[in-house]
C-alpha cells in the first residue's frame, strides 16, 4: 500500500510540473532542438507555423510535440529529420519535407528506434525515401498521416511506413503513395493495419514477411506495382479490403507465398492482373470474397493444399482458376461462377451439376503464355466446349461440387 501511494505521489508531481514550451520565430525560443533540450518528461512543445531546418533532432524524453498551422521540418535533402527513442512520445500536426537519402543507410524523415507507446498522428511527410522507419518498438500507433514519396526507381526509393521487429502496433487511416512499398512488415507480430489507402507505389502496396498473428482490415490497395505480398507467415486475417487496378506482367491483388493457417474474407478484387496468386500455402479459409473483371481470379499452384474456397462470387474474370498441376488438394464449395451453365431442378439454389472452373485454355496459357493472344477466338471457344463434354487435360478433382445458381449475399 505504501509503494502505491508513493507512485501516485510521484505521478501527481510530474503532472503538476509539466510545462508547455512554445517555439516560433516570434518567441524567446525559436529553435525546436533547443526546446527539446529544455523539455522535461511530460512537457508539451507547441511548434508554431514556419520552416525549421535544424538537422536531425533526437527526442529521447517522454514529451508531446504539436504543430500549430502545420509547421515544416526541412531536411534539406541531406539529413534525417526526427529520431525518437524511449517511450511516451506524441508527434502531431507537423510537415516533414526533403529528408536525406543514402544508398548505405535507411535514412528516414521520422525514425523510431527502441521505443514504446509512440503516437504519430495527422502529419504530412513529403519527398522522403523512407517516410516513417520503425525498429524494435512496441505498442505504438501511426494514424491519419499523409505520406507522398518521390516515386523514383525501386532501388532508389524506400518504404512509406517500414516496421522491423515490432509488436502490438497499429497502422491506421494513413494515405501512402509514391514509395517502393507503401507499408512494409518484417518480423512484426500482434499488429493491425486498418483503413489505410496505399496506392501508386512502385512495388507493393503492402509487403508482409515473417510476420505472424497480424490483421489487415478495411484497407484499399490500388494501382500498385504488385498489390500485396504475404510471405513466410502464419495466422494472418485479411478482411474487408479492396484490391483494385494492380496491373502489370507480375502484378497481383495478393501474392501468398509459404503462408498457413490464415483467413481471407469479405474482400473485393477488381481489375487486377491476378487477384490471388498462391504458392506453397496451406490451411487458408478463403470465403465471401468478390472477384470481378480480373485477368485471373486465382492462380493456385500445385504446391498448395488443404485450402478452402467457400461462398465466393466470380464475375467477368478472363480466367476464374488456373493451376500448374493435374491434381488439386484444395476444397471448392458453394461458390458462384458466372460462367456456370446448368440447372437447378429442385430449386434449392445449388446447381445440380458440379462445376469445373479450370478451362482447357487456362491450362494451355499456363504452359504457353504466348497463347493468350488467342483469347476469345472461335478455336478456343470450340476447345473449351469439347473439354466440358469430354474432360481430359483439366484437373479432374478441382471441382465445385455445389455451385450456387445466384451470387452469394456477402
> Looking at 206-210, 274-278, 284-288, 340-344, which range is the least confident one?
340-344
Q: What is the pLDDT of residue 377?
A: 55
DSSP string computed for 16-63:
HH--EEEE-TTSS---HHHHHHH--TT-EEEE-SSEE--S-EEE-SS-
Higher pLDDT, residue 102 or 10: 102
Residue ranges and CATH numbers for the domains of the chain are 19-389 (2.160.20.10)
| Three cell numbers, residue 166 | 515490432
Tell me the per-residue pLDDT of 230-274, one tens digit each, with 9 for 90 and over.
999 999 999 999 999 998 777 889 999 999 999 999 999 999 999
How high is the mean pLDDT of the chain? 88
Please tell me what DSSP assigns to residue 266. S
pLDDT over 90 percentage in the chain: 71
Q: List residues bridging with 25 in a β-sheet.
A: none
Q: What is the pLDDT of residue 265?
A: 97
- Quick one: pLDDT band at residue 328, thresholds 50, 70, 90? confident
Terminal Cα distance for the chain, rounded:
55
Tell me the per-residue pLDDT of 10-67, one tens digit each, with 9 for 90 and over.
334 444 467 999 999 899 999 999 999 999 999 999 999 999 999 999 999 999 999 9
| Three cell numbers, residue 161 | 511506413
DSSP string computed for 119-182:
EEES-EEES-SEEEEEES-BS-EEES-EEE-----TTT---SEEEEEEES-EEES-EEESSSSS
Question: Residue range 359-371: average pLDDT?
Answer: 58
CB–CB of 91/70 below 8 Å?
no
CB–CB of 180/165 below 8 Å?
no
CB–CB of 241/267 below 8 Å?
yes
d(CA 221, CA 182) in angstroms, rounded, equals 9
| Three cell numbers, residue 253 | 491483388
d(CA 104, CA 90) in angstroms, rounded, equals 29
Amino acid at each position: 500500500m505504501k509503494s502505491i501511494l508513493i507512485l501516485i505521489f510521484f505521478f501527481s508531481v510530474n503532472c503538476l510540473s509539466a510545462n508547455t514550451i512554445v517555439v516560433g520565430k516570434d518567441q524567446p525560443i525559436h529553435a525546436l532542438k533547443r526546446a527539446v533540450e529544455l523539455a522535461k518528461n511530460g512537457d508539451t512543445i507547441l511548434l508554431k507555423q514556419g520552416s525549421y531546418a535544424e538537422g536531425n533532432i533526437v527526442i529521447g524524453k517522454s514529451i508531446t510535440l504539436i504543430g500549430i498551422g502545420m509547421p515544416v521540418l526541412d531536411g534539406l535533402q541531406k539529413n534525417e529529420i526526427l529520431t525518437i527513442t524511449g517511450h511516451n512520445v506524441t508527434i502531431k500536426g507537423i510537415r516533414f519535407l526533403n529528408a536525406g537519402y543514402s544508398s548505405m543507410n535507411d535514412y528516414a524523415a521520422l525514425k523510431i528506434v527502441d521505443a514504446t507507446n509512440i503516437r504519430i498522428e495527422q502529419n504530412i511527410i513529403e519527398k522522403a525515401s523512407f517516410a516513417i522507419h520503425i525498429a524494435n518498438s512496441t505498442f505504438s500507433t501511426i494514424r491519419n498521416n499523409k505520406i507522398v514519396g518521390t516515386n523514383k526507381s525501386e532501388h532508389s526509393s524506400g518504404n512509406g511506413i517500414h516496421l522491423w521487429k515490432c509488436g502490438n502496433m497499429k497502422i491506421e487511416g494513413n494515405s501512402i503513395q509514391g514509395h517502393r512499398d507503401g507499408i512494409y512488415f518484417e518480423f512484426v507480430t500482434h499488429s493491425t493495419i486498418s483503413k489505410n489507402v496505399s496506392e501508386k507505389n512502385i512495388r507493393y502496396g503492402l509487403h508482409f514477411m515473417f510476420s505472424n498473428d497480424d490483421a489487415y482490415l478495411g484497407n484499399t490497395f490500388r494501382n500498385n506495382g504488385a498489390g500485396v505480398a504475404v510471405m513466410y507467415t502464419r495466422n494472418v486475417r485479411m478482411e474487408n479490403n479492396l484490391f483494385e487496378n494492380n496491373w502489370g506482367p507480375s502484378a497481383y491483388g495478393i501474392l501468398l507465398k509459404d503462408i498457413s493457417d490464415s483467413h481471407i474474407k469479405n474482400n473485393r478484387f477488381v481489375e487486377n492482373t491476378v487477384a490471388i496468386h498462391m504458392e506453397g500455402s496451406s490451411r487458408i479459409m478463403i470465403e465471401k470474397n468478390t472477384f470481378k473483371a480480373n485477368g485471373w481470379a486465382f492462380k493456385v499452384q500445385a504446391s498448395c493444399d488443404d485450402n478452402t474456397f467457400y461462398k465466393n462470387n466470380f464475375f467477368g474474370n478472363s480466367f476464374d482458376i488456373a493451376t500448374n498441376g493435374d491434381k488439386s488438394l484444395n476444397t471448392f464449395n458453394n461458390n458462384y461462377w458466372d460462367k456456370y451453365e446448368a440447372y437447378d431442378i429442385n430449386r434449392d439454389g445449388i446447381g445440380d451439376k458440379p462445376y469445373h472452373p479450370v478451362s482447357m485454355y487456362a491450362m494451355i496459357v499456363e504452359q504457353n503464355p504466348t497463347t493468350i493472344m488467342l483469347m476469345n477466338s472461335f478455336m478456343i471457344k470450340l476447345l473449351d466446349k469439347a473439354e466440358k463434354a469430354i474432360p481430359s487435360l483439366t484437373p479432374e478433382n478441382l471441382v465445385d461440387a455445389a455451385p450456387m445458381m445466384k451470387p452469394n449475399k456477402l
